[in-house]
Structure 1
């Protein structure tokens, strides 16, 4: 009888444990079926703590993925394997996605923090009235150099890079439009030039730069400069900003012939499954305090006027990274060149890279 009662007690306890475990896993599964948004962004392009903060404030789980080129991002959105709710294309890709009918119009009433954006960075040529996109970060393409290695040089012209004294001491970003673009600017042509003869001249001109080029590189460009493997580089302003503002060893210049003024933007793909969540996420990122925090973490210039006011004076007043309206007159925004011309840019850039070997 005692043994029988023990078995009953054990059975009851086991049953209660199983019921508890079952309830626990059911609850866990239920949480997994809660609201989600799918976000597709460049790598290292948002403060991870902000994602956690958004999830805590809204209860919306963020499924976050990254891409390393506009072309890769565009292809994945077009293929539709993942229904992204928010994506972050550059300006010429916004233009392309619009043309291909792959974006939803943005209802500005659903993003009240749009009021924080600086009008100077709204209503750009690639998306008039910001019908399909809102600016996220912006910047320029220019030259960073080691002032201690070249104390008497100012690099205020693309021509400066061609001086033989910089033999094997220049790094270039691995981007066709940036590198072909510097030659186009040097020759007095537009960054959006479609003339094959002009593009051929740009490629030939880059061959003269070749002996000075140590390498065409990606993310390692910062490390190579800091370790003095090279003393000059053509970079995006956001790469230069932490190095320039963090020490007096480097300086950053946008050459006088002109350069690129680029914008990365927030959009809602047409295949988005959670439009309400997308609006909440964009509005969250445009909050002044959140945008300030994100700007300090990412290092690029913010188009968020309210956030910029909160930045340290030495950052928000630095015209190397927040160019004046007068300076911007000499800058160009990339436009969608069309598949054929873009292929020519890429082919000529590849020819140049191969000539370096």
Structure 2
């Protein structure tokens, strides 16, 4: 009788172990495929920062469903990743934010042996100071901060550096991109200081100079700056090179310059957050988007400069030789890359910019 009981218990125990094992196996599968059994990739990107046709192409080629969400600032992106909720598999921070995310242990190391398309990336965009040896990031796009002007209202020789924006003849004629780091940065450069200045005295002086610019400022806006400039709501704007490329494509009177005394050169990179659940899919996407034909298509759609050397060769000559968006070595030598300022100084920049926006209208 005892033998029968022991045998029954053994069968129950074995069945239980199989059941528990199947649960763990199912959870492991779901971590890579999602609860509905389909392969998925949770991609968190800047708004309007990929050709939608490439997402469709990736889904068809791989059978992986892309869940696509967007953010409008590096800070908003990091805040949401820290909060949890959605476990993003790929996101696209800028240089200084990669530094911050590394320090806060928010990223998984990149296994470069899995990046078969790394050979196409121009070495100039690898092993940069914000991520030595590309331990955590793979280049996506790069560009500059500069000035767009409309030649119907502004002559080319009138605009060449940041200080030209303070000319009183531009009263109520300038649109600024809504970014504390960029707008305080241009004021810092105009006073001969670094984009990464941490001196409170210098920052106060930069804010004071911005206050003097306010009579010339028509609006401080985000993505809608493209529409406004195309529709000629203002003759001058401070914005990013890729935004400028989209404007120029729609209005032949618009032009873009990088100020001669320096500006920001930025780098956006693909990273895998530490909470990612579909890691194999993330690597598949990184390799897909860096295939030269795909990277070329993406660069043409977005308007920003590609770090993919092979893709650049495939671009029309009129694009790859355009120094508005692929600047000369002389121009590049005067550009600065943002560094992580730390939470306290970042907040100081944000507070000063908010004061500029709120107290001078």
TM-score, length-normalised on structure 2? Answer: 0.88
Unaligned stretches of 5+ in structure 1? Answer: 1-29
Q: Aligned runs of 1:331-342 on 2, under 5 Å?
A: 331-342=335-346
Q: Do residues 92 (structure 1) and 96 (structure 2) align?
A: yes
Partner of 1:15 in structure 2? none
Residue 249 in structure 1 maps to residue 253 in structure 2: yes
Task: Output the CA distance in 2 between the equivalents of 1:133 and 1:183.
Answer: 30
What is the match of residue 10 of structure 1?
none
Q: Give the aligned partner of residue 220 of structure 1.
A: 224
- TM-score w.r.t. the length of structure 1 is 0.89
CA–CA distance in structure 2, aligned partners of residues 47 and 255 of structure 1: 29
CA deviation profile, 1:187-221 (whole Å, cap 9, x unmatched): 00000000000000000111111111111111221
Matched residues in 2 for 1:328 and 1:267: separation?
25
Would you say 1:184 and 2:191 are equivalent positions? no
Q: Would you say the 8 A contact 2:226–2:246 is kept in 1?
A: no
Q: Does 1:208 align with 2:212?
A: yes
After superposing the two structures, state which structure 1 stretch, 196-205 or 320-329, moved more.
320-329
Distance in 1 (alpha carbons) for counterparts of 2:42 and 2:228: 35
List alignment gaps of at least 5 residues for structure 2: 1-33
* Runs of 4+ more than 2 Å apart: 151-154, 242-248
Partners of 2:112 and 2:187 in 1: CA distance: 39
Q: CA deviation at 1:228?
A: 2.0
Q: What residue number does 1:235 align with? A: 239
**Match in the other structure for 2:314:** 310
User: RMSD across aligned C-alpha pairs, in angstroms?
Assistant: 1.4
Q: Does 1:286 align with 2:314?
A: no
Structure 2 contact 89–279 (Cα < 8 Å) conserved: yes
CA displacement at 1:95 relative to structure 2: 0.6
Structure 1 residue 186: Cα displacement: 0.1
Residue number in structure 2 paired with 1:296: 300
Map of 1:193 onto structure 2 = 197
The number of residue pairs the alignment matches comes to 328
Deviation at 1:89, TM superposition (A): 0.8
Deviation at 1:113, TM superposition (A): 0.5
Deviations 1:122-144 (A, max 9, x none): 11111111110011011100000
Which whole-Å CA distance do the structure 2 matches of 1:173 and 1:338 have between them?
Answer: 23
Q: How far did residue 246 of structure 1 move?
A: 5.1
